[in-house]
Structure 1
Amino acid sequence: MAATFKTIRRRVWLILNTLVVLWLLLGVICLQVPPESFWPAAFIAFSLPAPLVLNFLFLLYWLLRRSWLVVLPLSVFILGWGYYARLVSVNFAEEVSEGTKTLQVLSFNTHVFNAYADKDGSELEASTDMIDWVATHPADIICLQEFYSNRGSSTYNTISKIGTRYDRYRFFSVSYVDRNKADIGSVIFSKYPIINKGVIRFGESHVNRAIWTDIDMKGDTIRVYSAHLQSMSIKSQDIESTYSAIGNEESFKKEGRNLARRLKRGFVARGNQVELLLEHIRESPYPVIVCGDFNDIPFSYTYNQMAKELKNAFVKAGSGVGATYNGPLPFLRIDNQFYSEALKAYEFETHYEMGLSDHFPISAKYVLQPKAQE
């Protein structure tokens, strides 16, 4: 009787493990599907972290059981390591030889330095701390999204405080001017000269865009992009409303549909935007670094398209989970730095000490690879 029960249990666990593997394979296939063509694929791909974690748990289970069936989850783990690395990165510090050309790049969605939350002066200290933190960061290049600068304000005159004061070159693309005559947009600051620049506009959106600069780094030119893709359009209140609706079937369905609609719009918009961005990147005559707020997790069509053609600094040089969203949904990595073959990332950091925006800043250090001898 005990032997029969053991056999049945093993079969049940094997069936469940097989279903998890099929789920994982389906998710990987869905990563290749443009959301505009078939938007449900984006939701299936979005769920990929679940089968990845479940497969790892099955791996541990079969190991503890000392069963040959461990071959199934182990094979998936090995073959799918690239996807596991998107979840959790494991790298060790590298030494860089003297005389090597290095470059440090900081990327940060500043959430307009909380200027709109400062109506009564309650955010003034936090805004000042954030601006000072960015201004004094040692990065050679600083890419900021949702950047805010008001020349008429002693606190928010950020072009002067971050750029002019520290003799940084800059390219500021203004998306719009608010009622206080403050400029909002994306900016790239550089300690090296900017010899060319431009803007990639994503359709009718005046907020979401990518800007680029060609930077003369001691005789070598590198093209740096700062991108801000379509927002998820999900606020903390939306998530809280969905949580609070649990138990009330009608209310939960309403909030769930609202959340799903917003996610769908974002998936489709970002899928189109990343194609425009990649078209421009492919034409670059120089090595590229692409920074920004992609507003999509590593298990999305957007991220997958970027990862097909460029390396990810967190995957190659980071450690841990690397979450960059500072909000109610944990473990979301939606800010990234990608780079081309002529560069190598040797250090990556998510700056959790700067938690005053709804994003955490990220920085990476790169080595410019020597050119191949002809």
Structure 2
Amino acid sequence: MKLFRSILLVVHFVLLFLLCGVLLNAYIPPKVFWGFSFLSLGFPLIMILYVIITFFWIFSWKKRAFFFMFAGLFFLNPTKRWLNYSSENKETPNLKIVTFNVKSGKWGKNEIQNYINAQKADLVFLQESGPDYELDHLKAEETLQIICFYSKYKILDRKDIFKPLTEKDVTSQCEQIDIEIRGKIYRVFNVHLQSFGVVKDMVKLDGNGNEDEKKMKDLVKKLIPTFKVHQEEIQLIRKSVEESPYPVIVAGDFNAVPNSYEYYQMSKVLKDAFFETGKGSGTSFHDFKYPLRIDYIFTSETIKPIHYSVDHSAHLSDHFPVIASFKIE
């Protein structure tokens, strides 16, 4: 038993070390060291194991439990970015937003269209939009290849801020759009960061050592270059946000998890609506049966989140729709 506890203690310190590595994504970009990006993907599993072993020390009446409990407090906010517990906000919202990667409508265009119409949103951000959708009382006007923005309000200006990058990869798109809401101008960004191009068969291990090893190597070869491209893309978005003379809303599919470099870059200049007011799991991509939150809504300080939900009952795409309401002046 003593040997088992010694091994478990070493494992616990390793997990703590890995969790600290996740936090370094806030400071170290993928082009400098991409390993921390992998840790952000594994954060839920690492955190679960850390908590389980902490409880083991508690039930074993070991003093070391106090150390690991105290150290675990540093990871409350990183955990809230995946699984939140905000109290209910009683204020009345006056702006409703839906962001949804609809997977080109492959799971049913009419069903998707009916679902979005039922939300009665003021702004709709679609990614991998595919066919045009007829949304009640909302206008799309111009649209890019894989993203589309629908608004109840007047659109004043539009700009493709990824234009220099889209020649490399058509899955990378971000449109900057100025809209007028009740006499005030807001700048919104519809985002789709570069896809990893990973499908279920690539991450499903079948027990064959050689084939599984090849799958893992191929997966790493896909992930590392994409992490580095994301660095360029998110820096462009952040620069545009910081230069905006208007309050900002950034929504869409970031193809990046919480506590990643991409997430920290956005959260340094904008609020994460889920972190502010979300409840339960923020998981928005369900195809891999693993908790992946990759769809977000970020806002300026003057735009107050009131309610945020991921509709896990809507199986209309490999993503779940994100629905949020806000209070603006």
Q: Which moved more, 1:295-304 or 1:43-52?
A: 43-52
Alignment of 1:1-374 (within 5 A): 11-97=6-92, 102-114=94-106, 126-149=108-131, 157-158=132-133, 161-162=134-135, 166-175=136-145, 185-201=146-162, 203=165, 204=167, 205-240=169-204, 243-244=205-206, 246=207, 248-368=208-328
Report how far residue 231 of structure 1 moved: 0.5
CA contact 2:202–2:219 (8 Å) conserved in 1? yes
Over residues 256-289 of structure 1, what are the superposed CA-to-partner deviations in whole Å (9 max), with x where a residue is unaligned?
Answer: 1111111112211112111111111111111111
Q: Structure 1: how far apart are the matches of 2:62 and 2:12?
A: 13
Q: Number of aligned residue pairs: give it.
A: 326
TM-score (norm 2): 0.91
Over residues 145-164 of structure 1, what are the superposed CA-to-partner deviations in whole Å (9 max), with x where a residue is unaligned?
Answer: 11123xxxxxxx52xx22xx
Secondary structure of residue in 1 paired with 2:129: strand
Secondary structure of residue in 2 paired with 1:172: coil
Q: Structure 1: how far apart are the matches of 2:25 and 2:174?
A: 26
Q: Structure 1: how far apart are the matches of 2:60 and 2:28?
A: 38
Q: Structure 1: how far apart are the matches of 2:13 and 2:61?
A: 18
CA contact 1:58–1:73 (8 Å) conserved in 2? no
Over residues 81-109 of structure 1, what are the superposed CA-to-partner deviations in whole Å (9 max), with x where a residue is unaligned?
Answer: 11111221111221115xxx621110011
Q: Structure 1: how far apart are the matches of 2:181 and 2:321?
A: 23
Larger Rg: 1
Structure 1 unpaired stretches of 5+: 115-122, 150-156, 176-184
Query: Residues 41 and 9 of structure 1: is their aligned pair in 2 closer, same or farther, counting only changes over 3 Å?
Result: closer
Over residues 213-232 of structure 1, what are the superposed CA-to-partner deviations in whole Å (9 max), with x where a residue is unaligned?
Answer: 22221122222111000102
Q: Structure 2: how far apart are the matches of 1:206 and 1:223?
A: 23
Letter in 2 for 1:82: N
Q: Structure 2: how far apart are the matches of 1:286 and 1:105?
A: 18
Q: Give RMSD over aligned pairs.
A: 2.1
Letter in 2 for 1:59: T
Q: Structure 1: how far apart are the matches of 2:181 and 2:268?
A: 27
Letter in 2 for 1:107: T
Over residues 28-73 of structure 1, what are the superposed CA-to-partner deviations in whole Å (9 max), with x where a residue is unaligned?
Answer: 2245321122223322343333332222223322322333322222
Q: Structure 2: how far apart are the matches of 1:189 and 1:226?
A: 10
CA contact 1:197–1:212 (8 Å) conserved in 2? yes
CA contact 1:89–1:318 (8 Å) conserved in 2? yes
Q: Structure 2: how far apart are the matches of 1:237 and 1:58?
A: 32
Between the two structures, name the one with larger relative contact order (CA 8 Å, sep ≥ 6): 2
Letter in 2 for 1:62: W
Query: Residues 207 and 256 of structure 1: is their aligned pair in 2 closer, same or farther, counting only changes over 3 Å?
Result: closer
CA contact 1:313–1:348 (8 Å) conserved in 2? yes
Letter in 2 for 1:365: S
Query: Residues 226 and 58 of structure 1: is their aligned pair in 2 closer, same or farther, counting only changes over 3 Å?
Result: same
Q: Structure 1: how far apart are the matches of 2:315 and 2:202?
A: 21
Q: Structure 2: how far apart are the matches of 1:312 and 1:27?
A: 18
Structure 2 unpaired stretches of 5+: none
Report how far residue 233 of structure 1 moved: 0.6
Q: Structure 2: how far apart are the matches of 1:352 and 1:14?
A: 37
Q: Structure 1: how far apart are the matches of 2:233 and 2:276?
A: 25
Report how far residue 210 of structure 1 moved: 0.7
Over residues 159-217 of structure 1, what are the superposed CA-to-partner deviations in whole Å (9 max), with x where a residue is unaligned?
Answer: xx22xxx3323343332xxxxxxxxx211111121222221115123331111222221
Over residues 320-373 of structure 1, what are the superposed CA-to-partner deviations in whole Å (9 max), with x where a residue is unaligned?
Answer: 1221113023211111111111111111111223212111110111112x5xxx
Letter in 1 for 2:183: G
Query: Residues 167 and 47 of structure 1: is their aligned pair in 2 closer, same or farther, counting only changes over 3 Å?
Result: closer
